[in-house]
Amino acid sequence: MAAQALALLREVSRLEAPLEELRALQSVLQTVPLSELREQAAELRLGPLFSLLNENHREQTTLCVSILERLLQAVEPVHVARNLRVDLQRGLTHSNDSVKILTLSQVGRIVENSEAVTEILNNAELLKQIVYCIGGDNLSVAKALIVEISSVSPESLNYCTTSGLVTQLLRELTGEDVLVRATCVEMVTSLAYTQHGRQYLSQEGVIDQISNIIVGADSDPFSSFYLPGFVKFFGNLAIMDSPQQICERYPVFVEKVFEMTESQDPTMIGVAVDTIGILGSNVEGKQVLQKTGTRFERLLMKIGYQAKNASTELKIRCLDAISSIFYIPPEQQTDDLLRMTESWFSSLSRDPLELFRGISNQPFPELHCAALKVFTAIANQPWAQKLMFNSPGFVEYVMDRSVEHDKASKDAKYELVKALANSKTVAEIFGNPNYLRLRTYLSEGPYYVKPISTTAVEGAE
């Protein structure tokens, strides 16, 4: 089949108006596995197909785009960057949107590939052309690519800012169109994942502007469109930089997160819970939350309530946030931090351990795994081990392999056993016999099935 496709491709490159051959090639390609095409990648001459795009013939263009979409999947991004540069540049300025989108998707593949992207970055002229070509376009794909290119290095960010493209994106971020604002903040958040990106956003006053928009959100009836994205932006910024510095400099962010947990809107609650999870994922962030005192304890009570009563999706997000907030790596544990997490845990509900056990017994693997993750997060903390040991039936529940039926659940249970078995305090708290049972479970692996003993009975024939 691949041989037939190559023969048709050669035929297409020979003819001036190969409409029939293009139809046949499109049809054949639908039946050729991608693996076969990849084996023949070196033989694929795609230049002629790109050339046919330049003629003003609608059906021919549609066929070529469809064929190129398939064939380019078989070609490595590095090869595309090295050998199809001129074709990509032409495609970016093509009058037909489907050709532009095809080309942009290839630029996207190049940007995401560390080897291929150097082909662009080492060629300043080509990078400039790509940036300026995209700049003439208002497709959201193009904006996302600009952010990807800007994120690669300070140099590539410089090209994108010089071209005015990043400035345009930032204008739209603070503009009047709330839907565009929501899309732009996601892209700006991607830029904030890099050191040079954060530096640029800070220098340009963008972080201050986002903070001011959050301040003004109370009086904007449409704020629910963009507020979740703005709050997520700060959550990610805090964990990338310094939770303490960001929360002290932008108190409105923490204020808004607390406020959102009081909302009746599950979307707002979900974003607030996710953000608390991000913020509390490292020790500095936990200390920032601790400084809010009883407010955070009340917030934990709400998260505990939602974990029990919300929709399945929001329950899982609450459990994931709880796992993140409560986990402390063994080497970072101090008496103060352990006292703090113990106090927090008691704020979640009247009997948090039973709450999570109840959730883990529900017949939904995702919920079961999320509840096991909570147990795993606290499993290396002595206060939690004491709670587990003193909770009737809990140790048996941990050791019982018959509770989990699917792979994800077995893996999650194994992580819990591993966290307990590797803890320095568990032998003393659980007692040696239980400690040895944990070690046995660990050495048998997550999928061990106990053999059923069969005893031969004489005369049973």
> Mean pLDDT in the chain?
89
Q: What would the pLDDT profile of 304-313 be if each residue is shown by its tens digit?
A: 999 999 999 9
Average pLDDT over residues 171-182: 87
pTM score > 0.75 for this model? yes
Q: What would the pLDDT profile of 336-390 be if each residue is shown by its tens digit?
A: 999 999 999 999 999 999 999 999 988 899 999 999 999 999 999 999 999 999 9
- Numbers of helices and strands, H then E, in the chain: 31, 0
Alpha carbon of 42 to those of 27, 71, 84, 128, 251: distances in Å? 22, 11, 13, 29, 57
Number of C-alpha atoms within 13 angstroms, CB side, residue 300?
A: 27
* DSSP assignments along 343-405, one per residue: HHHHHH-SSHHHHHHHHHTSS-HHHHHHHHHHHHHHTTSHHHHHHHHHSTTHHHHHH-GGG--
Rounded CA gap, 338 and 329, in Å? 11
Rounded CA gap, 163 and 150, in Å? 12
Q: What would the pLDDT profile of 194-203 be if each residue is shown by its tens digit?
A: 999 999 999 9
**How many residues comprise the chain?**
461
Q: In this structure, is the dihedral angle defined by the CA atoms of residues 258, 262, 268 and 272, taken in order, positive or negative?
A: positive
Q: What would the pLDDT profile of 162-172 be if each residue is shown by its tens digit?
A: 877 788 888 88
| 456 pLDDT higher than 60 | no
Residue given tokens 């509390």 in the structure block:
280
- Is the distance from CB of 110 to CB of 120 less than 8 angstroms? yes
At 238, give phi and psi (nearest 5°): -60, -45
| 107 pLDDT higher than 90 | no
Q: Which of 375, 376, 388, 402 is nearest to 431 (CA)?
A: 388
Rounded CA gap, 205 and 374, in Å? 39
Rg, the chain, Cα only = 29
Six token digits for residue 343: 């106090």
| 136 pLDDT higher than 70 | no
Rounded CA gap, 97 and 362, in Å? 49
| 94 pLDDT higher than 70 | yes
| 137 pLDDT higher than 70 | no
**What pLDDT is stored for residue 134 in this prediction?**
66
